[in-house]
A and B are shown apart, each in its own frame.
Chain A
Amino acid sequence: MITDDFSAYAVGIDIHLDRPVTAAEVRGRVEELLVAIAKACDQAGATLIGHIKAVVETEGKGFLGISVTEPTGKATTRGELQDGAKALEITVNVLLYGLTRSKVQELVDPLAMRMLDFPGSEIELEDLEEHHHDHGRDDHDGHVHEHDEHDHC
């Protein structure tokens, strides 16, 4: 089901906090981020969202796995997180059809910077799949061309 307009983008987000954050705050912000990414990709012309997932990892304070599959859907969350984390390692993975990888990155990174900007935090983003090829053929506005449905897999 890998077609010409299939794109995969993954970003690692390291957050160092001045003050400990509550589990509810982390969960709320990451859930909102994934929903916002889904909406932004949909509005930018994504034809189908595969999934938008995140895993939040901490040093001894637990973890969360969060997923969104629809632009109008709610996030599904599993895992346990305790209050008091002072550092968060978040990985966001977006798999979708209809946008190029660079367009997805252009949408995801600013949203992550803005929505995960906890007071007094330092945030760093790293493209985790920089060397992976983009299946989509980019045109000037980041959309990919319609394709015959041919599955490589």
Chain B
Amino acid sequence: MEMVIVAGFLGSGKTTLVLSTISRIIERTGKKVVIIVNDFGTVGIDGRVMQKYGLNVTELASGCICCTLGGDMLTTVQDIEAKIAPDIIVVEPTGVADPSAIVHAMGQYPGKPMERILSVVIVDAVRFPAIVKALNRPLTSQIKNADLVLINKIDAVAPEALRDVETALRAMNAEVRIIPVSALQGTNIDQVVEAVVG
């Protein structure tokens, strides 16, 4: 079993990306995929929307997966493994979560260790300057610990602005693979699928 964490600041397009990639991953690989969604607070809007699109979703509500729900997540993963035995578990944490904390929490997983944990971080190209200004340290930490960075909403920014975002991300993590995408329009989603499932 593998785990793919799809992290990114609030409004970066995590749910849109999950909706646009999961069906392609299933079509392409035939793998069984389950999604764990953690909306902040008791209101699970993202999970409800994904379920309406027919995805297999388990919600973790009432808090942030990386700070208060680590134990709940492990129990949930264990339940999913026992009942569904998926090939891939996709975790969409709240937009305020640190994905490295989830990776750390999975170190305590009592079941069979994950074959792989891939940490994907989505960056909002439109609001990147404002988010960097307000939340530089946690954003930098997310990018430093990412295995794959997606610059989303490229359809809504000028090429120069996109280059600036890429330059800033490279300064945070020189090695990480970066894919510019538009989850809404489906641009470069095949590259994302390739990067996720190989």
Could you tell me which A residues sit within 8 Å of B by CB distance? 1-3, 6, 8, 10, 47-51, 53-55, 57, 63, 65, 67, 69-70, 73, 76, 78-79, 91, 93, 95, 97, 128-129, 132, 149, 151-153
A153 touching B96 in the complex, CB below 8 Å, given contacts A10-B43, A48-B130, A95-B40: yes
A1 touching B41 in the complex, CB below 8 Å, given contacts A67-B11, A95-B10: no
Closest residue on chain A to residue B40 by CB atoms: A8
Query: Interface size (B, Cβ < 8 Å)?
Result: 36
By a CB distance below 8 angstroms, the chain B residues around A47 are 134
Contact B136 A6 (CB under 8 A): no
A51 touching B138 in the complex, CB below 8 Å, given contacts A70-B127, A128-B42, A129-B43: no
Question: Majority SS of interface residues in chain A?
Answer: strand
Closest residue on chain A to residue B97 by CB atoms: A153
Max chain B C-beta neighbours (<10 A), residue from A49, A69, A91, A153: A153
Segment from B45-53, B82-90, B165-173 that makes contact with A: B45-53
A1 touching B43 in the complex, CB below 8 Å, given contacts A50-B11, A55-B49, A70-B127: no
Contact B48 A69 (CB under 8 A): no
Chain A nearest CB from B116 CB (Å) reads 23
Could you tell me which B residues sit within 8 Å of A by CB distance? 9-11, 16, 19, 39-43, 45-46, 48-49, 52, 64, 66-67, 95-98, 101, 124, 126-127, 130-131, 134-139, 141, 184
In Å, the complex CA distance between A55 and B50 comes to 11
By a CB distance below 8 angstroms, the chain A residues around B131 are 48
By a CB distance below 8 angstroms, the chain A residues around B136 are 149
By a CB distance below 8 angstroms, the chain B residues around A48 are 130-131, 134-135
A151 touching B52 in the complex, CB below 8 Å, given contacts A8-B40, A50-B9, A95-B40: no
In Å, the complex CA distance between A57 and B48 comes to 10
Given A1-B96, A54-B45, 20 extra CB contacts under 8 A: A1-B98, A2-B64, A2-B67, A10-B42, A49-B11, A51-B11, A63-B49, A65-B52, A67-B11, A69-B127, A70-B127, A76-B184, A91-B43, A93-B39, A93-B41, A93-B43, A149-B134, A151-B135, A152-B67, A153-B97
In Å, the complex CA distance between A73 and B157 comes to 13
